[in-house]
Amino acid sequence: MAKSFHIVVCAGIVPDPLQTLEPATGPTGPAIKNEMLLPAILDPWAACALYEAAKLAQEHPGSRVWLVSLAPKAKLQQLMMNVAQKAAFELVAIDGPIGGFADAHGTAAALAESIGAIPGLDRSKLLLFGGWESATRGAGVTLQLVGERLGIADQFQGVDRIDILDDGSFEVLERVEGGRHQASICAGAPAVLGWATGSLPEPRNNPQLGMANMRTLMPAIQRARTVAIDANGLHYVSTSVPTQQRATRVVKDLSPDEIAHELAEWIGAE
Partner 1 sequence: MESVLVLTHCDEAGATLSKGSLAAIGAGKQLAGRLGSPLAIGIVDEDSEKLAANLPAPGARWLAVSGEAFAQPRFASDAAACAAICRAAQATIILAPQSSRFARVLAAVAHRMNGRIDTHIASMGGAGGLDATRWHYRQRIEAVIRRGSRPWFLLYDGAADASNAAETAPAHIERVAVELPPPRTTVTGMRSPEQAAAGAQGGSPRLGTIRPDAKLLLVAGAGWTKKQPDGKIHTAEAGDLILRFVQVSGASLGSSKSLVDQSGEGNSVLPFLTHLNQVGQTGATPRHRKGLATCCHGEEPHVVGWRFIGERRAVSLDPNCGWTRGKADVVYIADAFQVLARLNSLLGQSRPL
**Smaller CB separation from partner 1, 223 or 236:** 236
Q: Which of 27, 119, 226, 251 binds partner 1 (CB under 8 A)?
A: 251
Q: How far is the CB of 168 from partner 1 (least distance, A)?
A: 12
Buried b (16+ CB within 10 A) or exposed e, 89-125: bbbbbbbbbbbbbbbbbbbbbbbbebbeebeeeeeeb
Q: Which of 61, 119, 207, 257 binds partner 1 (CB under 8 A)?
A: 257
Measured CA distances, 204 to 24, 59, 66, 98, 223 (Å): 36, 19, 20, 27, 29
DSSP tag of 107: H
Which of the residues 22 through 41 are near partner 1 (CB under 8 A)? 23, 30, 32
**Smaller CB separation from partner 1, 78 or 197:** 197
Q: Which of 66, 174, 227, 229 binds partner 1 (CB under 8 A)?
A: 174
CA terminus-to-terminus distance, the chain: 58
Q: Which of 1, 187, 211, 228 binds partner 1 (CB under 8 A)?
A: 187
Is 12 near partner 1 (CB under 8 A)? no
How many residues line the site for partner 1 (CB under 8 A)? Answer: 88
Q: How far is the CB of 119 from partner 1 (least distance, A)?
A: 26
Span of 53-61, 193-201, 204-212, 214-222 interacting with partner 1 by CB under 8 A: 193-201
CB within 8 Å of 9: residues ≥ 6 apart: 46, 49, 50, 53, 65, 66, 67, 68, 89, 129, 130
Which of the residues 97 through 116 are near partner 1 (CB under 8 A)? 100-101, 103-105
Site string for partner 1, 219-248 (x = CB under 8 A): -------------xxxxxxxxxxx-xxxxx
Going 54 to 59 to 60 to 62, the CA torsion angle's sign is positive
